[in-house]
Copies of this chain bind each other. A is one copy, B any other.
Amino acid sequence: MSDTVRVGILGASGYTGGDLIRLLAGHPKVEIALLTAERHAGASVDSVWPHLRGAGELPALIALEDVEWPAVELDVIFCALPHATSQDVIKGLLHATGHSLLEEMIAESPGDLAESFRGEARIIDLSADFRLRDVETYERWYGQAHQAPDLQAKAVYGLPELYGADIRDARLVACPGCYPTAALLALVPLIRAGLVETDDIIIDAKSGVTGAGRGLKQQMLFSEVSEALHPYGVGHHRHMPEIDQELSVAAGKPVTVSFTPHLVPINRGELETIYVRLRRDARAADLRMAWENAYGDAPFVSVLDDDAVPATRMVRGSNQCILGAVDDRIDGRAIVIAAIDNLVKGSSGQAVQVMNLMLGFEETDGLTQLPLFP
């Protein structure tokens, strides 16, 4: 067995794909063996991502249909395709290749990882397709029937700080959305510790523009976004059911949150200001204590002391999540704040962290870059 694993990125020309290349090119135990992109098939990475010209030898981008499965011999497949496409691709690959790496992938877990590694690729999906355990919920929010419900049932929700053990044994991991990542890291320990009421959680989220992807939409043009600020998807953003789902697991009962995202003219960065009603005379200090207990060893979650509040500039370009809590002026309420880089901890960095866990690497491999400020 080689000392590096071979990874592929499906959808390498989007922001998520680009940041995956940036992180994986610096990963000590990884070789990037496959990069797909439909419109840019045939192009070099340099031409699509000029900032990556110093990334070393990389394969040219090819169309997904031109990938030579299984000859490409991947150990890990990062699927950074658009929502709804991911499930088709994975299902399609499965049917196309018969008794293949992908069919095996969803078979029962093999005995010895070291033996069975190559040929049984792990799939890390960065789309929304496998995040919702209930395919009916998926259908309601995404407006179409799920194309791969069997795979869905085997997918693990890829938030390492909460599901580390499951991720280690998983063959298909659905990485969380950026908004759910911040919300769940902040709220799950508080709910598990019984510190907050679960029927009165208000999440006011603010995100940089890369969260909307690289697709062409008028509302994402520079001139529309710059010097401007507004909420969007009020009452119907697709990350809501994902947050509900995981908070319900934590609470042991159905939870519905209030969630309002806002678009802010920055490239990277996501901040959630969460308003909670406290239980049992808890104070902000108790919330911090609950986080410390939950994340004592976690390399990518930091809890700020009393008077400090998270800011997106603390995490730009890094895989960190910063948490803070302050007592509210309204008795019995607290303000909880979480900051992440939506493209890293909210997407590509988290996917690399998931890979590290799946393959028994150091959790921080490839993720040691400090934030860039200014």
Contact = CB atoms under 8 A, between A and B. Distances in A.
Given A202-B202, A214-B218, A223 B15 contact: yes
Contact of A329 (B221, B258, B268, B313): B258
A206 B265 CA distance: 12
Given A266-B228, A327-B235, A51 B370 contact: yes
A320 B46 CA distance: 14
B216 A259 contact: no
Interface stretch (A52-60, A119-127, A289-297): A52-60
Given A231-B273, A271-B229, A320-B54, A206 B370 contact: no
B227 A210 contact: no
Q: Is the interface of A mostly helix, strand, loop or mixed?
A: loop
A248 to B, nearest CB: 14
A315 B222 contact: no
A54 B329 CA distance: 32
Nearest to A39: B218
Interface stretch (A18-26, A107-115, A179-187, A347-355): A18-26
Given A302-B54, A330-B199, A26 B313 contact: no
B227 A371 contact: no
Given A258-B275, A260-B273, A369-B26, A221 B222 contact: yes
Nearest to A308: B50
A208 B262 CA distance: 14
Nearest to A373: B51
A330 B232 contact: no
Interface in A182-204: 199-200, 202, 204
Interface of A: 15, 18, 22, 25-26, 49-55, 199-200, 202, 204, 206, 208-210, 214, 216-218, 220-232, 234-235, 240, 256-260, 262, 264-269, 271, 273, 275, 302, 308-318, 320, 326-330, 333, 335, 337, 339, 343, 368-374
